[in-house]
Amino acid sequence: MLDISDKYSHTSSQIVTEDISDDDSPLLSCTSFQDMRSDHLLPDFRSPANACPPRKRYVSVRGKFMLAQMGAILWVMFSLWIALPWIISLADIFGWVLTVFAIGGMAIVPGYISGLILFSVMLDNRPKVLPAENYPSISILIAAYNEEGVISDTLHSIISQAYPGVLEIIVIDDGSKDDTAGMVRRLNDPRIRLIVQPKNGGKASALNTGLENATHAIIITIDADTYLYRDALQHIVGRYLNDPENTVAVAGAIAVRNSRASWVTRFQEWDYFHGIAVVKRVQSLYQGTLVAQGAFSLYERDVVRALGGWPPCVGEDIVLSWAMLKKGYRIGYAENAVVFTNVPETYNQLFLQRRRWARGMFEALRAHPDILLTRRISLQFVLINMLFPWLDITYLFFFIPGIIAAFFGIFLLAGPVTLFLIPLALVNNAIIYIVQRKMFRERGLKVRKNLRGFLIYIFFSQLMMAPASLAGYGSELFRLSKVWGTK
């Protein structure tokens, strides 16, 4: 078996040793893999016949970042040039401070973010994950609370994985009041260990219990209602083995399992497929995925232990991820390690979940404020996250009233910059769809028809998310009582 500690024990002369955030070379070159094999750092990933494919022209991470920035900034400048007379007329009525606040939050910054995502996705040509001869032993941690209806399916999806290494599955029953523990015991599989906590201590407490009992150097967290698609474990571990050596966590790809349960789940299917997935893809392109989500992510056990485990807060995965980034570690993203999870089926459940996510971001900033001083390309995404309250406020209190007024013939706020977001959004969504559909087809998956959910996602998702986000920001700002509240 591969000893994961060897990933850090030596450095080949041709392996990139500078800060990955400023990397101007391929993540791992063909010669780098050969040198690593000669030093016995990693097993022979490729046969001699295919050891060195012809090298293609390579654009560095920094080069892609600069190109995407140029494209986004040029788009914003063009929009401003077209809309300048309208902006000046607004300033004559409302003053420059309010005009800049409103137009910047509802049009300029969203246009820049959309442009950055568009050009980044177009430049993203991630290398294939090379298969390993030996895969490391892994410990899978599942925190479960009142999950008797889904835990069996989740465990069956893990057991049926054709993972080449040793599996240890630790289920932590966090004081469930139903028969969750009984459902686990009935499986009677020697790879499954059940730990029952007499009282409900929260997800972080359950995961830390699993962390203490994990035997292997690599741990993977999986939500109790998450179903692993074929070879998900092999893909997420493969991404970890192929990523730069300072990678200590890898986020998997989450898709919606119960998408036909309600209109709320229908639009969330597109949110996960289009929104969340592409944001992680872009962040990983620039060596800085911001969150290794608890639903399905890989971590190095000893790093998590050194950071104190999962903190007791509602956004424990976000806070832990930012602690890793602050230390200079890297979090990867395995876009083809697909799992399916159950999402909230009512708007009230969704509101509670997204409020928790928004609060978790501010918890992370409160816990790790010096991440803003960490010099790396991915710092931009942290800074963009800090702008979300502004964007949500201007969306709710300027953009929506402006659209309503436009229906009555008053086009004061629905101006040229706002209208320029429409073609950009259409192109953005088309390209994202093509990229995601390609990945799905490679994994033997099909994008199901869901036009109603797509239309709700495009036109109304932010209207439903923004109030929940503002509630989350406010609850952390005023230190209100913390409630898990995902379902």
Instruction: Work out the pLDDT band at 30, boundaries 50, 70, 90.
Output: very low
More confident residue, 323 or 34: 323
pLDDT reading at 17 higher than 60:
no
Which two structure tokens, joined as six digits, stand for 472? 């989350």
Question: What span, in angstroms and rounded, lies between the C-alpha atoms of 391 and 106?
Answer: 6
At 261 the pLDDT is 96
String of DSSP letters for 161-186: ---SS-EEEEEEEES-SSSHHHHHHH
At 56 the pLDDT is 57
At 462 the pLDDT is 94
Taking residues 308-312, report their average pLDDT: 96
Contact 399, 480 (CB under 8 A): no
Taking residues 282-301, report their average pLDDT: 94
pLDDT reading at 22 higher than 80:
no
Which two structure tokens, joined as six digits, stand for 65? 């970042």
CB atoms within 10 A of CB 320: 27
At 18 the pLDDT is 30
More confident residue, 41 or 404: 404
Question: What span, in angstroms and rounded, lies between the C-alpha atoms of 174 and 157?
Answer: 21
At 57 the pLDDT is 66
Pick from 34-38, 194-198, 320-324, 429-433: least confident? 34-38
Instruction: Work out the pLDDT band at 25, boundaries 50, 70, 90.
Output: very low
Taking residues 456-464, report their average pLDDT: 94
More confident residue, 448 or 266: 266
Q: What is the pTM of this model?
A: 0.85
What does the buried/exposed string (b/e) look like for 85-109 if buried means 16 or more CB atoms within 10 Å of the residue's CB?
A: ebbeebeeebeeeebebbbbbbbbb
What's the gap between Cα 445 and its chain centre? 20
More confident residue, 10 or 461: 461
- What rounded mean pLDDT belongs to the chain? 87
Instruction: Work out the pLDDT band at 401, boundaries 50, 70, 90.
Output: very high
Phi/psi of residue 165, each to 5°?
-95, -175
String of DSSP letters for 304-344: HHHTTSS-SSTTHHHHHHHHHHHTT-EEEEEEEEEEEE---
Please tell me whether residue 376 adopts helix, strand or coil conformation. Answer: coil
Residues 163-203: pLDDT tens digits? 999 999 999 999 999 999 999 999 989 999 999 999 999 99
Instruction: Work out the pLDDT band at 32, boundaries 50, 70, 90.
Output: very low
Taking residues 360-366, report their average pLDDT: 94
At 426 the pLDDT is 85
Instruction: Work out the pLDDT band at 452, boundaries 50, 70, 90.
Output: very high
**Which one-letter DSSP state was computed for residue 228?**
E
pLDDT reading at 145 higher than 90:
yes
Query: Closest by alpha carbon to 272, among 198, 350, 368, 157?
Result: 350
Residues 210-252: pLDDT tens digits? 999 999 999 999 999 999 999 999 999 999 999 998 999 999 9
